Structure 1
Amino acid sequence: MTDILRKPASNREPVGRKSMVQELADLTAVVVAPGDDQTSFLLRELQRFRMRARQIWPMPETVPGDADVVYCEYSADLARRLPWIPGDARSALVVIVPPNDPIQADALANATPDAVLARPFTTNAVLSSLVLARSQFGYERRLRSKIERLDENLRSIRTVERAKAILMATRRMPETEAYGFIRRQAMDRRVSASAVAAAIVDSFELLGYDNQH
């Protein structure tokens, strides 16, 4: 009987995990749009999710980048007004597009928005744009973090290979022994192998061995 009444595990919320709406609470938002009824509606919807939202108009030369989410009115030169380079955004960007006025597809693409919100606004459209923007922004930020870690790993590998070559040339060590030396030094000093390798390379270059060999 107990098993019949128990809620299926697949439908349970993970323990301790916030829902998407809960994650929106206390986020900051900037709305760069004219002060009209539609903008007031958008601000109210964001505040309904307990977000701290403020409105700015006229369109500034540089769109603020100090908020978690930026809602910005479409303009043909929007990409130029953003305070970051494409692919390195500091805020989730939602572009507000007009209902009938034509827009330039290239201009919209160059702004690399995380979502768009078309006028006239609705409750569902605002929530959808917000969830999509935060999700896309988070995904891209995780990708950038992975790329940075990969770059760091590649730099570390190159540094270790360089240090091994130095030890093999200056101490006549076989490759395996040179690598073992780096690892032992790292363990003794409780630092990474790349840190030891970097010290070896720096010392080698500081003493001017490159100019002697």
Structure 2
Amino acid sequence: MSEAAWKSGDDRAPGTRKSILQELAGLDVAVVAPRDDQGSFLMREMQRLRLRARQVWPLPESVPCDADIVYCEYSPDLARRLPWIPGDARAALVVILPAGEPVDADALAHATPDAVLARPFNANSVVASLVLARSQFRYEQRLRAKVERLDENLRSMRTVERAKAILMATRRMPEDEAYGFIRRQAMDRRVSASAVASAIVDSFELLGYDQHL
């Protein structure tokens, strides 16, 4: 499912906003679990909720990531099998916990799941895991996007400050005048101030002037 579809529903007016279960419908789900009674039950629940589900078993070396949500059987080395680094997941992850076997808490933490589903599970626990995993994953996506915007803003501010320092040193401009020059150039060219600042810095460095300015 596309990212746009994944995020659908957020901007609708209250009267037309879909329910959580309606938003779940149509998501792609990879179920990495044995083809036993519980695995079959999980697949039926996915179909009942109108999700596009496929089952994968045995546990592959690399867990599928071409899905919106991945249900994966617990394994002590699960973190190694995930095709992403912690904090940069490409799909919501639900770890299926064994019924009577001990779980390595550290191994589970390293996999950083968005939700867990403990065997034996029922319809309610399946729905709960879906809702929690989707909500948690989207929340983390929003946080990452916010951090990226903050990083970009910080880089832009640093570039503008560097360009100001260059203008102050090479054109003997006071700080306010240097910033005003950057702003005017940006408005004249209909680009951002950071784009003008980057051009000033690049030109200055290309000519090999003092890098300590």
TM-score exceeds 0.5: yes
Q: Residues 197 and 130 (structure 1 numbering): CA distance in 2 closer, same or farther, change over 3 Å?
A: same
Instruction: Tell me the equivalent position of 1:133.
Output: 133
Distance in 2 of aligned mates of 1:107 and 1:26: 31
SS class of match (1:210): coil
Instruction: Tell me the equivalent position of 2:91.
Output: 91
What does 1:101-180 align with in structure 2 at a 5 Å threshold?
101-180=101-180
1:77 aligns with 2:77: yes
Q: Cα RMSD over matched residues?
A: 1.3
Once the two structures are TM-superposed, the CA of residue 191 in structure 1 deviates from its matched residue by 0.7
Instruction: Tell me the equivalent position of 2:61.
Output: 61
Distance in 2 of aligned mates of 1:74 and 1:58: 12
Q: Which aligned runs of 4 or more in structure 1 are off by greater than 4 angstroms?
A: none
Once the two structures are TM-superposed, the CA of residue 212 in structure 1 deviates from its matched residue by 11
Distance in 2 of aligned mates of 1:32 and 1:150: 36
Distance in 2 of aligned mates of 1:207 and 1:15: 60
For 1:115, the aligned partner's letter is A
Q: Residues 60 and 206 (structure 1 numbering): CA distance in 2 closer, same or farther, change over 3 Å?
A: same
Q: Residues 49 and 163 (structure 1 numbering): CA distance in 2 closer, same or farther, change over 3 Å?
A: same
Identity level (%): 78
Gaps of 5+ in 2: 1-12
Distance in 2 of aligned mates of 1:121 and 1:210: 66
Q: Deviations over 1:137-189 (max 9, x none)?
A: 00011000000000000000000000000000011000000000000111111
Distance in 2 of aligned mates of 1:151 and 1:122: 43
Once the two structures are TM-superposed, the CA of residue 49 in structure 1 deviates from its matched residue by 1.4
Distance in 2 of aligned mates of 1:89 and 1:114: 10
SS class of match (1:94): strand
Once the two structures are TM-superposed, the CA of residue 50 in structure 1 deviates from its matched residue by 1.1
Normalising by structure 2, report the TM-score.
0.92
Question: How many equivalent residue pairs?
Answer: 201
